[in-house]
Amino acid sequence: MPGSHPALHSAPVRQAPKGMAAAISILVFASTAQAAGDGSGARITDKFAQPAFAELQRAAAATEQEIGALCTAPSAEALAKAQGAFAELVSAWGKASVLRFGPLADEHRMERIYFWPDPRGIALRQVQATIAGEDESATSSENLAQKSAALQGLPALEFALYGSGADDLAGGAAAYRCRFAEAIAGNIASIANELLAGWADGTDFTDAFTAPAADTEPYRSAGEVDAEIVRALSTQLRFVHEAQLLPALGADIGKARGKRAPLWRSELTFVLATAQLDGVRDLLNAAGYESAVAEETSWVPGAILFEIGTARVALDGIETVPSDAFADETARDKIAFAGFTIESAAANITEKLAAALGLIVGFNALDGD
């Protein structure tokens, strides 16, 4: 009978579970309509989403233009300018990509701009094959938009501009590669245009996000909007850690593999990660939760911002190139510390921030269960 073995016991009802940490998701049942234009969704649209996607669009168009100039008049300087534009594009993407719902979730736009994680190196294989085969159909952004997501976005463009053989771009010996790179940048600019249009005032999505009501889709209440924001914040933080830092970090220093990190060829790995953290910070700030939650929980957004800032400082302080950093003791410590604070911030978002916003915490609706 129960009790006959020390490991088996009866279970009196005890206190509410604590520390559900990774094991929660957000469910919303409240359906109070948000007055038009004064909620978190309206603030985010105005202060963060529209400017962030406008910057993404600008940076993509600038990259396309610089690569076009490189193709027309190849030189080391033109290549450097194209690469500089690419770095700005990576930063713009890092910030905007926290908005992974709505327009970015449609039409596979997220993966088409940033095909990651890619543990099997699909992008590398496809890009190399495209360049080697000089596939003409990949040199127009319209055609490219119909091809594999792995060929369409930043990882593909990075290889074109920085991967083996990219030096030939400066000398004019890589005309095809240059046109391919230009098409990728053009495709990203087109997708950015679509994102900007999707977030424009007056679309069905923006109406629902800024003024949710019983008859709006996909959000019917302010609580559903807040649940989406909370999910986006925590998902982006976990993505930075789990998909970008952890795989390269490995279980110990002997298993570190910097080339599993994104954008190591351009040495933009940590530029991307810090921009992503900035996006989380800016989204959280734009949401204005500090004044929206009750006084006793008004410290929560600030505490999360502090953790994000701490992680950012750690990553920003890495002086080793990304391909070596994960196996470098000093840099590795900074990466691991950043990972720890990122996870902590994510846990605080799904637990404390969600609770402060009155979102009901569910136990059973996690992806993959």
Partner 1 sequence: MSSGNSLPSTEDDGPLFLGARLNSGSHEVAVIDEHGRDLLVLPVPARGHSFAIDSARRRAVAFGRAPGRFAVAFDIDGGSAPHAIAPPADRHFFGHGAFTPGGRLLLATENDFGAGQGVVGIYDAGKGFARIGEIASGGIGPHEAVLLGDGKTLCVANGGILTHPDYGGQKLNLDTMQPGLAYIDVETGDLTDQVFLAPELSRLSIRHLAIDALGTIWFGCQYQGEPAQRPPLVGRHRRGREPELFAGPDETLKAMNNYVGSVAVDASGEIVATSSPRGGLVAFWDAATGRHLGNRELADGCGVAPLERHHVLATSGRGAVTDLSPGATGLLLPPAPGRPAWDNHLRRMG
Whole-number minimum distance, CB 272 to partner 1, in Å? 16
Among 86, 242, 264, 359, binds partner 1 (CB under 8 A): 242
Give yes or no for residue 254 binding partner 1 (CB under 8 A).
no
Choose the binding region for partner 1 from 31-39, 113-121, 281-289, 297-305 (rule: CB under 8 A).
Answer: 113-121
Residues forming a β-bridge with 362: 25
**Comparison of 19 and 202: residue with beta carbon closer to partner 1:** 19
Distance between CA atoms of 286 and 40, rounded to whole angstroms? 7
Alpha carbons 315 and 334: distance in angstroms, whole number:
6
At position 244, the amino acid (one-letter code) is Q
Distance from C-alpha of 77 to C-alpha of 200, rounded to nearest angstrom = 37
**Residues 92/52, Cβ–Cβ less than 8 Å:** yes
Nearer of residues 19 and 291 to partner 1, judged by Cβ: 19
- Sites for partner 1 among residues 6-25 (CB under 8 A): 6-20, 23, 25
Kindly indicate which of the ranges 31-39, 65-73, 131-139, 237-245 contains the residues binding partner 1, using the contact rule CB under 8 A: 237-245
Closest CA to 174 of 130, 207, 236, 231: 130
- Contact between 108 and partner 1 by CB under 8 A: the answer reads yes
What is residue 215's DSSP assignment?
Answer: T
Contact with partner 1 (CB under 8 A) among 53, 93, 101, 162: 101
Q: Are 209 and 227 in contact (CB under 8 A)?
A: no
| Smallest distance from partner 1 to CB 288, Å | 25
In single-letter form, the type of residue at position 237 comes to L
Give the contacts of 241 (CB within 8 A, at least 6 positions apart).
Answer: 339, 342, 343, 346
Site for partner 1 in 142-181 (CB under 8 A): 148-149
Strand ranges in 127-269 using DSSP code E only, listed in sequence order: none
Interface contacts to partner 1, rule CB under 8 A: 1-20, 23, 25, 27, 29, 101, 105-108, 111, 117-120, 148-149, 217-218, 238-239, 241-243, 246-247, 250, 360, 362-365, 367-369
